[in-house]
Amino acid sequence: QVQLVQSGAEVKKPGASVKVSCKASGYTFTGYYMHWVRQAPGQGLEWMGWINPNSGGTNYAQKFQGRVTMTRDTSISTAYMELSRLRSDDTAVYYCARDPATTPYSSSPYWYFDLWGRGTLVTVSS
């Protein structure tokens, strides 16, 4: 069925990097934009950026510019989000979420999320 399967929980030390994966199945991976959203414990949702799996183009939230890198491997229908120089306040559940805008027909995403992964808990602790 149509789903996004994310990698398992991670524990990292401050200053380290983490790379979270999101494998798409049941639809054409390169056909839809993919966003990343995070949620700190007990807090709200925070948009991080998107990747166009067809072209590899990206757009990052200003807050994460210089620390986040979104990539994809089309051969295995998987998107990745890498966050570097981790701090304790990066502790959160990280979600991948599909945008219904179809690539390459749409030059930009529709800016909403119709399919979500289950989330990956990243804990940053010394």
Partner 1 sequence: SYELTQPPSVSVSPGQTARITCSGDALPKQYAYWYQQKPGQAPVLVIYKDSERPSGIPERFSGSSSGTTVTLTISGVQAEDEADYYCQSADSSGTYQGVFGTGTKVTVL
CB of 3 to partner 1, least distance (A): 11
CB of 10 to partner 1, least distance (A): 18
CA dihedral 123, 13, 80, 66 (to 10 degrees): 110
Burial of 30 (C-beta count, 10 Å sphere; 0-12/13-18/19+) = middle
CB of 43 to partner 1, least distance (A): 8
Task: Considering the complex, state which of residue 59 and residue 74 has its C-beta at the smaller distance from partner 1.
Answer: 59
Other CB atoms within a 10 A radius of the CB of residue 57 amount to 14
Q: Residues interacting with partner 1, by CB under 8 A?
A: 35, 37, 44-47, 50, 59, 61-62, 95, 97, 108, 111-114, 116-119
Residue 55: φ, ψ to 5°: -100, -20
Task: Considering the complex, state which of residue 32 and residue 50 has its C-beta at the smaller distance from partner 1.
Answer: 50
CB of 42 to partner 1, least distance (A): 10
Evaluate whether 90 touches 125 at the Cβ level (below 8 Å): no
Task: Considering the complex, state which of residue 15 and residue 38 has its C-beta at the smaller distance from partner 1.
Answer: 38
